Amino acid sequence: MPRIVIVAGARPNFMKVKPVMDALEARGADVVLVHTGQHYDAAMNDVFFADLGLRPPDRHLGTGSGTHAEQTARVMTAFEPLVEELSPDAVVVVGDVTSTLACALVAAKAGVVVAHVEAGLRSRDWSMPEEVNRLVTDRLSDLLFAPSPDGVDNLRAEGYHDDQIHLAGNVMIDTLFANLDRALASDVLHRHGLTPGGYALATLHRPANVDDPAVLAGLLRAFGEVARELPVVLPVHPRTAVRLESAGVPEGLRLVPPAGYLDFIALQASARLVLTDSGGIQEETTALGVPCLTTRDSTERPITLTEGTNLLVGRDPARIVAAAREVLANPPAKRSPALWDGHAGDRVADVLLAHLASPVRPRPTDVRDTAVGSPA
Ligand code: UD1
């Protein structure tokens, strides 16, 4: 059976690798879980392995934090000899973090099949590091697994071949459904003195929202206004923690440490409203049917707007507060995008293993020859 390396680096990767690993191993593949070490704090890392029942990484690269270039370079330098040593048949990367791009680049240059899970998402905001990571990772990948039809449309428009593109559904929602009952048994609401349906949950960590003090102050002001209507609980990401020290936190906004996976799902599931700049939370709230306001100007997950409970509200405090009041008064109905059904990991595994077993494999180099707009 083929040897498949699967890469996880940062918090949002862990719930995406689990269903793919499980499905590949159930089909007999030899899976090697590689952790790049991009995230390393217990609260960003260990708790997810415990909550998800993810085995400890088979290999840990221990790369740590740094600038984008430092982080990318460190992951690449550590991953390259590992690929040489393991000679995998394929490398699977998930999501859009720096580790995703770094490992895809190494694998592509080593001539190994690259599969990208969560392909085709586009915010069209080139100032987001994740948008750069998404575009380049897709370009390096042999197999592109899109979570939703908009991802397929984006990839087709960029000239990818139909036999590279696979609408697999959303692997993160596989993990959500697999763990929902356990999450709902968490006592996290009790620990924070919250009642189901009686609070709003906020998250904030995008550089565009937390690195500029004026933008951060505006968002905190907006959350403070919402907190006049109901308590707002904000689990604080390490990037944000540093910024909050000098920002001043409005009354009613309750700062709590970063939550583990099960606790965070429980907090989302029982919230009356979620305010976030995260990508994954837009999807999880849609799957849970919980109203979500995204404090960004764009989203790479438009399906959550058209077929979910998400609203894009930007970063203007007055607009955020008005939208929150509107949604509290008239919550949107629950809707579920197709193939967010708990079986995306199975579809990824079936396609990847069939691809590896096939003598004829399309290579990503084919894309360039036929890309839309390329010279004849
Ligand atoms: C990264 C991802 C982002 C994802 C987020 C989820 C990129 C470009 N960004 O952003 O897409 O939504 O993870 O959390 O890959 N830090 C710690 N402990 C840790 C990890 C980080 O204290 O375990 C601090 C460090 O000061 C670090 C900073 O957080 O410099 C930022 O970490 P980094 O991994 O560079 O980016 P995130 O903001 O976490």
State whether the beta carbon of 39 lies less than 6 angstroms from ligand 1: yes
Distance in Å, CA 319 to ligand 1 centroid: 28
User: Are residues 286 and 292 in contact, defined by beta-carbon separation less than 8 angstroms?
Assistant: yes
Query: Is residue 364 scored above 90 in pLDDT?
Result: no
Radius of gyration (C-alpha) of the chain in whole angstroms: 20
Note the pLDDT tens digit of each residue in 33-78: 999 999 999 999 999 999 999 999 999 999 999 999 999 999 999 9
CA dist 357 to 92, 199, 281, 290, Å?
A: 16, 51, 36, 42
Catalytic residue selected from 35, 205, 237, 355: 205
Q: How far apart are CA 130 and CA 98, in angstroms?
A: 7
For 8, the enclosing helix (H) or strand (E) is strand 3-8
Segment 123-134, tens digit of pLDDT: 999 999 999 999
Q: What is the pLDDT of residue 362?
A: 64
Tell me the mean pLDDT in the region 337-362.
93
Q: What does the pLDDT average to over 85-102?
A: 98
Q: What is the pLDDT of residue 376?
A: 35
Q: Say if residues 267 and 285 touch (Cβ distance below 8 Å).
A: no
pLDDT digits (tens, 9 = 90+) for 291-338: 999 999 999 999 999 999 999 999 999 999 999 999 999 999 999 899
10 C-beta closer than 6 A to ligand 1: yes
Could you tell me the distance, in angstroms and rounded to a whole number, from the CA of residue 70 to the centre of ligand 1?
A: 13
- Least trusted range by pLDDT, from 97-111, 320-334, 361-375: 361-375
Geometric angle at alpha carbon 80, from 352 and 96, rounded to 5°: 55
Q: Let me know: does 93 contact 17? Beta carbons within 8 Å.
A: no
- In this structure, are residues 31 and 24 in contact, taking their beta carbons and an 8 Å threshold? yes
Flag whether pLDDT at 370 surpasses 70.
Answer: no
Q: Which residue has the higher pLDDT, 369 or 304?
A: 304
Segment 112-137 mean pLDDT: 97
The arithmetic mean of pLDDT across residues 352-369, rounded, is: 76
Provide the token pair at 246. 């000098």
pLDDT value at position 96? 98
Task: Return d(Cα 331, Cα 321) in angstroms, integer.
Answer: 15
- Is residue 35 in contact with ligand 1, taking CB distance under 6 Å? no
Q: Which of 235-239, 270-274, 346-350 shows the lowest mean pLDDT across its residues?
A: 235-239
294 lines ligand 1 (CB under 6 A): no
In angstroms, what is the span from residue 23 Cα to ligand 1's centroid? 28
Q: In this model, does residue 159 exceed pLDDT 60?
A: yes
| Ligand 1 geometric centre to CA of 62 (Å) | 14
For residue 200, list its beta bridge partners: 232, 273
Distance from residue 356's CA to the centre of ligand 1 (Å): 33
The per-residue pLDDT for range 8-32, each reduced to its tens digit, is: 999 999 999 999 999 999 999 999 9
Q: Is the CB of residue 16 below 6 angstroms from any atom belonging to ligand 1?
A: no
**Pairwise CA distance, residues 113 & 292, whole Å:** 37
Residues 295, 277: contact at Cβ < 8 Å? yes
Own/partner pairs for 68-76, CB < 8 Å, 24+ apart? Answer: 68/98, 68/129, 71/38, 71/98, 71/99, 71/102, 72/98, 72/101, 72/102, 73/102, 75/9, 75/36, 75/38, 75/99, 75/102, 75/103, 76/102, 76/103, 76/105, 76/106
Q: From atom 19 of ligand 1, which residue's Cα is the shortest distance away?
A: 39
Percentage of the chain surpassing pLDDT 90? 91
- Alpha carbon distances (Å) from 39 to 66, 74, 159, 267, 297: 11, 13, 34, 22, 26
pLDDT at 368 > cutoff 80: no
Pocket test for ligand 1, best of 35, 65, 121, 136 (most atoms within 8 A of CB): 65
Cα separation, 74 vs 59, in Å, equals 15
Contact by Cβ (8 Å): 110, 23: no
Reply yes or no on whether 166 is catalytic: no
Atom 26 (ligand 1): residue with closest C-alpha? 239
Q: In what order do the strands lie in the sheet with 253-256?
A: 253-256, 232-235, 200-202, 273-276, 292-294, 310-312
pLDDT tens across 244-262, in order?
988 888 988 999 999 999 9
Q: What average pLDDT does the segment 162-189 reach?
A: 97
Q: What CA–CA distance (Å, rounded) separates 148 from 118?
A: 9
Q: What are phi and psi of 264, to 5 degrees?
A: -70, -35
Provide the CB-side half-sphere exposure for 62 (13 A, CA). 1
Asked if residue 367 has pLDDT above 70, the reply is: no
Instruction: Report the SS3 class of residue 113.
Output: strand
Question: Which pLDDT band holds residue 365 (cuts at 50, 70, 90)?
Answer: low
Nearest to 293 by CA among 279, 307, 273: 273
**Predicted pLDDT of residue 373:** 44
